[in-house]
Amino acid sequence: MPILEVRDLCARYTRSGPEILKDISFDVEADDFFAIIGPSGAGKSTLIRCINRLVAARSGSITFDGRSVTSLPARELRSLRRDIGMIFQEFNLIDRMSVMDNVLSGRLGYTGNLRTLFRAFPRTDVQRALEMLHRVGLEEHVDKRADELSGGQRQRVGIARALMQGPKLLLLDEPTSALDPKISREVMGLIKNMAQEFAVPCLCNIHDVNLAMEFCNKMIGLQDGVKMFDGPTAEMDQAKLDEIYAMEVL
Amino acid sequence: MLSTLDTDLRRTALSADEVLAIRRRRRWSMLAVVAALTVMVVWSIDVTVIEDTDWERMGSVASVLESAGRFMGVDWALFPDLVKPAIETFMIACLGTLLGVIICIPAAWFGAMNITPFKPLTYPLARLMMTLSRSIHEIVWALFFVAVVGLGAMAGIFALAVRSVGFIAKMSAEAIEDINPGPVEAIRAVGGNGFQVLRYAILPQVLPQILGVIVFEWEINIRRSAILGLVGAGGLGLVFFRQMNTFNFPGVTTVIIAILGIILVGEVVSYFARKAVI
Amino acid sequence: MKAANPVEADRAALPRDLHWQRYKYPESLYSYGAWIVVLSFLAFSVEYLSIPLERIPAMFERMAAVIASRYYPPDIEYVMDRDYLDYVVQTIQMAYLGALFGLLLSVPLGWFGSFNMTPSRRFVYPVARLFTMGFRAVHEMIWAILFVSILGFGMLPGVLALTFFCAGFAGKLFAEEIEAINMGPVEAMRAAGANLFQTMVFGVFPQVRVAFTGIGIYTWDVAFRAATVVGFVGAGGMGWYLKRAVLQIETERVAAIILSIVILVLISEVLSAFARDRVMRMK
Ligand SMILES: Nc1ncnc2c1ncn2[C@@H]1O[C@H](COP(=O)(O)OP(=O)(O)O)[C@@H](O)[C@H]1O
Ligand SMILES: [Mg+2]
C-alpha cells in the first residue's frame, strides 16, 4: 500500500480565484524519492502544502498512512503533521534562536505548552538533537544563532529539524533553490542518505531537472496546475521536458 | 515637486508655455495654502495672545523678566526632602510600564490582523482600546484613577499603565503584522499548536522591537510620573506644587533639577538596556 | 564543513558522550542575575510604595460601580454649550500656534543638532542637543505652570508651553532624520562650492522634505492632545473647564468633557492620518 495517495486534488487560494491545481493524482510508495518538477508558478509548492494542509484542498482526497488528510479535526491534524517532516526553500529557521533550539523545535508536536514556554525539552530530545546535528555535520555550531550560519549550513539545520520529528514522510519544497550549485548537490546528497538511513520516503519539489534526474526514482511534471507526466525518472526524456517547460521559454 | 514635474515633462513633452502655466498654477495653489495658514496664524494670535492676555498684570518687559528671575537659584535645603519622592516617581514609572506591558499582551494579540482570534470582534476591540488609551492625556487618566482608587501611588501606576498600553500595543501589533511568515509555517508543519507558534515563530521575531518600544515608553513614563502629583497621584509632582503654592521659586527649580536627574538616570539605564537587547 | 555523506563515514566516530546544557557558565549567570535584579527591584517597589495588592480584585468592581453611578450618564448638554465650544476653538488655535512655533524653532534645532550637518560639532552641536533635550525632558504641564506663574493666566502661556514642548519633540525627530540622509548629494553640493545654507537647501532638504512633513503632522497630533489639558493649570483652552468640573465634583460634567476630548482627538487623528497618507503618496 502506498504511504501517500493523492486523488483528483484541486486547490485554489481564494474562493473566486483561479484554480491552482487541477485534478492531480499520484502515489508515493514507502521507498520512493519522488520528484515534482515544473516551471515556477506551476503549483508545486501549493501541491506540497496541501499534503500537510498548510493549504486546504478544495476537492479530491489525500490519504497519508491510512488517514484522510482533508477531513481531520485540528488536534488530529497536528498529530498528522508530526508524522510529516518539511524542509523549505527559504529554510524558515527561527533566526534569533540557537541552532540547538531550532533543531529541538522539531519536537514541538510532542511537547506540552509549559515545556514550550521555558524551552525545557526532555533529555532524550536533547540527546537526539545532538545526534542529528552530528549527522549533518554541525556539532561545532550547536550554540550559534541560526542567522550566523551560511545557506548550506542553515539548510542542514532544517534537515535536522525535520528528522527530529521521526517523520514517516519528508516534504521538500525546493530545498536547494536558494543555494549555489555545489552546495545544492551536497545538500541533496545528505537528504537522500538520511532519508535512506531512516527509511523515510521523500516528496520533493525541484525546479532543476538535472538534480531530479540524479536523485529521484519517480517524478511527476506539473504545468500550470495540470499533471503532464507521471512515471519513473528513466522514462523522462527531452521532448517531454520541453513540453512541461514550454511556458517558461516564452 | 521638481522631480514630478520633470517626469511630467518627459512623458508628455510639453511646450515651454505650458510648463510655465503649470508652474504658475502650482505657485498659485502654494500661495493659497500659505495665505490660508497666515490668516489662521494672525487670527489665532489675535484671539489667544492679544485678546486673552492680561497685559496689565504682566506689566512691562522688565517685570516679566523679574518674575522669571525669581526662579533663579537653588534651594539646597530642599534636597533631602526630595529623595523619597524621587524614588517614588521612578518606581511609579517602572511599575506603571510593567502593568502597561501586561495589559498590552492581549491588546497586541487581538490587534494584530494576522493572529487576532476572531477578526470581526477582537480586532476592532483592540484598536478601540489602543486609541482610547492614547487619546486621553495622563492627567485625565490620573484624575479618573484617583477617583476610583483614592490618592496615592496606585492611581499613578494605573494611569501610566493605561496611558502606555496604546502605544506599546500599537507598535507591537504592527511588528507582529510585519513578521516573516516562514517560521510560522515551519512550526505549524512540525505539528505545533497556536501557543507554540506564538512562542517559537512570532515572539523571537518581534521581541527586540517590542523591548525597544517598552524602553522608549518607560523613559516617557518617567517624565509623566513626575507630574502626576498634580492630581494627587504621588511622587515629585506633589512637592513641585507645594513649592509653587508656597511661592518658594528656587524650590521649584530644585524639583525640576531633581526631575531632570531621574530622567538622566532613565536615559543611562535605557542606553544599556537597548545595548543588551540588540 | 563535513563531506556530502557524513552519515556512513561518521557512524563509528559518533561520540558516546553527547552533552549539552542550556546553562552556560558565565553568560547565563549574567542574564539570570539581571533578571533577578530587575524583578526584585519591582517587588521592592511594590513594597516601598505600599501597594495594597490584595485590594486590586475588589477595585475592578469598584471601578465599574464608580463609572456607572457617578460618571454615567455624561452631561452632554454641558459640552454643547456655546461658551464651551468657544473654548474648543481656542484650544485648537492654541495647539495650532504652539505646533507651528515649535516646528519653526525645531528646524534650526534639528539642523544644528544633527551630527553630520551641524555647522560646528565642537560648539553648536552640543548646545543644540542640550536645548532639545531640555525642552523634551520637562513635561508640557510643567512648562505650562512655569509660564502661567511668569505671565499670568491665559492662552499665551499655553502657546509658549506647547511651543517648547513641540520644539523638543520635533527637534529630536528632525535631527535623527537628517542624520539618516544619504550624504552623496551633500558632498556633490560641497564639491560644487555651495555654502552651508545652500547645501542645506539643495542637498539635505529635498531628502527630508516628506519625512519632515510627516513629523510635522505628528507634532500637531501631540500638541493638540496636550492642548486639551494645559488649561488644567490655567494656561487656556478646555482644560480649564475640566479643572472646574473636577473641583466642583460635577462628575457627569467631567465625563462629558472627557468624552468631548476623546472625540476631538479622534477626529484630529483621522484627519492627520489622512494628511500623512497624502504626503506619503506625494513621495
Ligand atoms: N498565498 C497565495 N495566495 C494566492 N495565490 C498564491 C499564493 N501562493 C501562490 N499563489 C499562486 O499560485 C500559483 C502557484 O504557485 P506555487 O505553488 O508557489 O508555484 P511553484 O511552487 O510551482 O513556483 C502561482 O500562480 C501563485 O501566484
Ligand atoms: Mg515554489
Mean pLDDT per block of 10 residues along chain B (278 residues) reads 46 73 82 86 78 70 81 85 92 96 94 91 92 88 86 92 94 94 95 94 93 91 91 87 89 92 90 79
pLDDT of residue B70: 83
**Who among A131, A137, A153 is closest to C18 (CB)?**
A131
Question: Do B170 and B226 belong to one domain?
Answer: yes
pLDDT of residue A92: 95
Domain-located, residue B62 = no
pLDDT of residue C2: 39
> Chain A closest CA to B197's CA: distance in Å?
10
Least confident of B79-83, C153-157, C277-281: C277-281
pLDDT of residue B156: 93
Cα B249 from Cα A11, distance rounded (Å): 76
Q: Does residue A222 register a pLDDT over 70?
A: yes
Domain-located, residue B122 = yes
Judge: C10–A126 Cβ closer than 8 Å, yes or no. no
Which of A179-193, B231-245, C21-35 has the highest mean predicted lDDT (pLDDT)?
Answer: A179-193
pLDDT of residue B13: 61
Cα B93 from Cα B214, distance rounded (Å): 12
Longest dimension (CA), chain C: 91
pLDDT of residue A105: 96
Q: Which residues of C touch B154 (CB under 8 A)?
A: 49, 51-52
The whole domain housing B122 covers 76-277
Round to the nearest angstrom and report the end-to-end CA distance of chain B: 39
Question: B136: phi > 0 → left, psi -120 to 50 → alpha, else beta; which?
Answer: beta
In the reported structure, the alpha carbon of residue A171 is separated from the centroid of ligand 2 by a whole-number distance in angstroms of 12
Q: Does residue C10 register a pLDDT over 80?
A: no
- The residue type of B194 is G
Judge: A136–C8 Cβ closer than 8 Å, yes or no. no
Question: Do B202 and B267 belong to one domain?
Answer: yes
Cα B191 from Cα B200, distance rounded (Å): 12
Question: Do B49 and B105 belong to one domain?
Answer: no
- The residue type of C138 is V
Question: Do B219 and B125 belong to one domain?
Answer: yes
pLDDT of residue B43: 83
Domain-located, residue B58 = no
Judge: B260–C138 Cβ closer than 8 Å, yes or no. yes
Q: Which domains does chain C have, with CATH numbers?
A: 76-280 (1.10.3720.10)
Question: Do B96 and B197 belong to one domain?
Answer: yes
Contact B266, B92 (CB under 8 A): no
pLDDT of residue C3: 42
Cα–Cα distance list, C226 to C7, C90, C106, C253, C254 (Å): 67, 13, 18, 20, 17
Q: Does residue C6 register a pLDDT over 50?
A: no
Question: Do B194 and B82 belong to one domain?
Answer: yes
Q: Does residue C187 register a pLDDT over 80?
A: yes
Question: Do B31 and B167 belong to one domain?
Answer: no
- Of the two residues B65 and A104, the one the predictor is more confident about is A104
CATH label of the domain that carries residue B242: 1.10.3720.10
Residue in the block written with cell 542518505: A193
pLDDT level of residue A250 (50, 70, 90 thresholds): low
Decide the pairing of beta strands A84-87 and A169-173.
parallel
Q: What is the pTM of this model?
A: 0.86
> Quick one: which atom of ligand 1 is closest to the CA of A38?
22
Q: Give me the DSSP letters along A96-130.
A: TSBHHHHHHGGGGGG--HHHHHHT---HHHHHHHH
Q: Which residues of C touch B53 (CB under 8 A)?
A: 151-152, 154-156
With a CB cutoff of 8 Å and minimum separation 6, the contacts of A69 are: A50, A51, A52, A53, A57, A62, A63, A80
Q: How many domains does chain B have?
A: 2
Least confident of A127-131, B59-63, C54-58, C91-95: B59-63
Domain-located, residue B69 = no
pLDDT of residue C283: 61
Domain-located, residue B64 = no
Longest dimension (CA), chain A: 56
Angle between helices C82-112 and C124-137 (to 10 degrees): 150
Supply A75's cell numbers: 488536534
Q: Considering chain C, what percentage of its residues have pLDDT values greater than 90?
A: 35
Domain-located, residue B71 = no
Q: Does residue C7 register a pLDDT over 50?
A: no
Least confident of B24-33, C116-125, C152-161: B24-33
Question: Do B157 and B273 belong to one domain?
Answer: yes
Question: Do B172 and B121 belong to one domain?
Answer: yes
ipTM of the complex as predicted:
0.93
Coil, helix or strand at residue A32: coil
Question: Do B106 and B242 belong to one domain?
Answer: yes
pLDDT of residue C139: 92
Question: Do B175 and B215 belong to one domain?
Answer: yes
Average confidence (pLDDT) over A55-69: 92
Exposure string over B156-185, b if 16+ CB within 10 A, otherwise e: bbbbbbbbbbbbbbbbbbbbbeebeebbbb
Average pLDDT score over chain C: 87
Domain-located, residue B68 = no
pLDDT of residue C9: 47
A175 lines ligand 1 (CB under 6 A): no
Least confident of A72-76, A101-105, C61-65: C61-65
Question: Do B174 and B265 belong to one domain?
Answer: yes
- The residue type of A73 is P
Domain-located, residue B251 = yes
pLDDT of residue B167: 93
- Of the two residues C74 and B169, the one the predictor is more confident about is B169
A221 lines ligand 1 (CB under 6 A): no
